[in-house]
Structure formats: C-alpha cells, structure tokens
C-alpha cells in the first residue's frame, strides 16, 4: 500500500494535481495512506470522515431522500458524496467511500464487504461496486483503500 501511495503522491506532484477524500467505512485510512508520505501536503487537499448519515447530509450535502430511499451504502449515496466533495474541495480528483466493513451491520441486500468507491476527475465519474470476501473489518478497510489507490493511479 505504501508504494501505491508514494507513486500517487509523486504523480500528483509532477502533474500539479490535488486530491480529496470523503470516507465512511474506512474511517480516514485512505487519507492516512497519503498523508504518511512526505511531500503529500502539496497534493492532499481535504479529508472528511463522514461516518454517520448526519455527517453525509450536513457536510457533504447528500440528500436525506437519497439516504432514505437507497441507504448510506449505495451507488446513489456514493455518487452524491463524490460530486459534492468535488464542489466543496475544488480538488482535481475526489474519492468517496461508503460500505459495510463489519463484522456486524450487514444484511442480505447489503452484506459485510459491500463497498462503493467513487472517483471524480474533471467531468469523468466512476462508481465502483466491490464485494470483498473477507469478513474481517480491518481487512475490508485495507482492501478498500488499496482499490481506491489503484483507481486514482489508473486515471493519472
């Protein structure tokens, strides 16, 4: 994970781009993976841990209707999170994460390991639905961060 983060910071610096994150189930782990790299202050703009539905509504302006209709862990919420983070942060690249890290809290429709990762760069938006097999919380969180880092790298 460190090598991915290091490569991303180098590429962002070289291309003079900035990045921001809105994380839920990863609790700031993605931001930590970038800020642990020396020089990241040139490229890292905003990191929000919007863990509760209230934080998603208040800070990221996700509509209450979206959360009520689709749930906090949904394509629609992830999309709203990444779009609104982009407006708020003015970063070149925005990432949103929402999911069920477990080991509790999963349902038949939204099992432990279901994670949505959103990426916005310019007008391009990608929302990726992931179903991680592990039932261990930290494993799901770390795998999510790795996937998010790979998504960033793929558009650099």
Domain tally, the chain: 1
Note whether residue 5 is domain-resident: no
Strand partners, 130: 115
- For 4-27, the pLDDT digits (tens) are 999 999 999 999 999 999 999 999
Could you tell me which residues come within 8 angstroms of residue 125 by beta carbon, excluding any fewer than 6 positions away? 79, 82, 83, 118, 119
pLDDT in tens, 84-130: 999 999 999 999 999 999 999 899 999 999 999 999 999 999 999 99
Q: Which domain holds residue 96?
A: 18-155
CB neighbours (10 Å) of residue 156? 15
pLDDT of residue 1: 72
Helices (H) then strands (E): counts for the chain? 6, 5
Q: How far apart are the first and last CA of the chain?
A: 17
CATH number, domain of 71, equals 3.90.950.20
Instruction: Tell me if 10 is assigned to some domain.
Output: no
């Amino acid at each position: 994970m460190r090598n991915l983060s290091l490569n991303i910071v180098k590429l962002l610096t070289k291309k003079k781009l900035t990045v921001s994150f809105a994380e839920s189930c990863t609790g700031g782990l993605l931001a930590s993976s970038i800020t642990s790299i020396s020089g990241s202050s040139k490229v890292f703009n905003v990191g929000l841990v919007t863990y509760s539905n209230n934080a998603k509504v208040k800070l990221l302006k996700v509509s209450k209707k979206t959360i009520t209709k689709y749930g906090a862990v949904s394509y629609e919420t992830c999309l709203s999170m990444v779009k609104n983070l982009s407006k708020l942060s003015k970063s070149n690249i925005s990432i949103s994460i929402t999911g069920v890290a477990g080991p509790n809290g999963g349902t038949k429709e939204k099992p432990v390991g279901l994670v949505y990762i959103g990426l916005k760069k310019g007008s391009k938006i990608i929302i990726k639905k992931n179903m991680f097999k592990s039932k261990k919380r930290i494993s799901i969180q770390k795998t999510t961060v790795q996937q998010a880092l790979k998504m960033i790298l793929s558009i650099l």
